[in-house]
Amino acid sequence: MADKYAADAGYAILQRVFDEHFKRVEEVVTAKMGAELSADSLQSPDDLEATFRRKRGEEHIGYVVNVTETVDPDGLQLITKVQTEPNTTDDAQMLNDALPELAQRTDLETLYTDGTYSSPEVDETCRQQQVTQHQTAIRGASPAPDTLTLSNFSFQLDENGYPATMRCPHGQPVDLGAGRKPDRFVARVAAADCPQCAAYAQRQQALTHAALCFVHYFSLPQLSVALRRQRMQALLASGRNPRAAVEATVREVTCRFPNAQVRVRGHCRVSMTMVATAAMSNARRIWRFQQRSQVVNKGDENHKSTLSAPFLSIFGHCRHFFGRWVATFVCQTVAAFHRPCSSLMSATVFPV
């Protein structure tokens, strides 16, 4: 049977259903239990790319949408990137995939994200693209307040991202050397250099049998986490959260799909739908920005644009037929109005 129908698409779907949803034990075929099914197993015969995800106790079948927008509280904020992927895709992976093109197209310098957009790969890509990432949280447990951690030290990095100099929390220089393995380092603070760091080491000695001076071993990924924690603490201390606005943007993009259900199926169609929706959001923002600018420039609150309103009306009638043109328009508009910083947010959507 396989020889006859192997090239048939319907047969391939049935074969996938059998392979992913059933198992054979001693010539007996039984259905797999829920815990045995893979998250990327076939969820629907008419949507071969949708995946399963459980988040905060809720089950979702479909895709995840990642939105990037510019940060300019007093000006025009535009959506610069929309990514649609199977909902098992990690946020950090989507950021890592988007960063090179985003940095090249928008001259990105500063990026605001939440804690899920971090990984060693993202750190390396940010370094290569000369982008500074600020997070509002960090994955993993927070260090104890009374513990001296790597994030308490200050660093000067060389052009390759390696620590050139290091100072302890009390401002004293640290003896920084290379470890036995690549990308590992040893920091030593003797009592003569900083009695306070040495006293901390002495308090820990009874428990850890550490040397009399303070010694800390760390790797390059651990240094990246420490630097991210320092930037996060500085951002929280400033009382500012530029990323907060993107929460409203995600709501703006997804509010036209009740219960986050789109009316199309398949990765390509869902992606095109989300890009078109974001394009219309940008068009509305540009129109409102132009109206506000004209009011400020002319001092006439009743002034109406003779160009923008008809243009937006035509744009609305054509949005279903010119998806590619819409995307081109948005890219060109972003080039004209962008600011060199962005924020990120993701949301889950799934077909009806």
Q: What are the residue boundaries of the structural domains of the chain, listed by start?
A: 1-37, 59-136+242-351, 150-238
Per-residue pLDDT of the chain (352 residues; tens, 9 = 90+): 667 777 778 878 888 888 888 888 888 888 888 888 888 888 888 888 889 888 777 888 889 999 999 988 778 889 999 999 998 999 999 999 999 999 999 889 999 998 889 898 999 999 999 999 999 888 877 887 777 888 889 999 988 889 999 988 888 888 888 888 999 999 888 777 777 776 776 666 554 444 456 778 899 989 999 999 999 999 988 888 888 888 888 888 888 888 888 888 899 999 999 999 999 999 999 998 888 887 766 655 454 444 445 444 445 444 444 444 443 344 333 333 333 455 555 555 555 5
- 3-state secondary structure at position 64: strand
Asked if residue 343 lies in contact with residue 135, where contact means CB atoms within 8 angstroms, the answer is no
The angle subtended at Cα 40 by Cα 272 and Cα 267, nearest 5°, is 10
pTM over 0.85, yes/no = no
d(CA 198, CA 106): 47
d(CA 117, CA 139): 9
* Residue 230 confidence (pLDDT): 92
81 φψ region: left (φ > 0), alpha (ψ -120 to 50), beta (else): beta
* Residue 340 confidence (pLDDT): 44
Q: Which long-range contacts (CB under 8 A, 24 or more apart) does 239-243 make?
A: 241/112, 241/136, 242/71, 242/73, 242/112, 242/341, 242/343, 243/112, 243/113, 243/114, 243/136, 243/343, 243/344, 243/345
Q: How far apart are the first and last CA of the chain?
A: 34
CATH code: domain 59-136+242-351 is: 3.30.420
Tokens (6 digits) for 69: 């927008």
Asked if residue 42 lies in contact with residue 15, where contact means CB atoms within 8 angstroms, the answer is no
Q: How far is CA 271 from each of CA 160, 197, 350, rounded to the nearest angstrom?
A: 37, 54, 11
* Residue 307 confidence (pLDDT): 45
State which amino acid sits at residue 81.
K
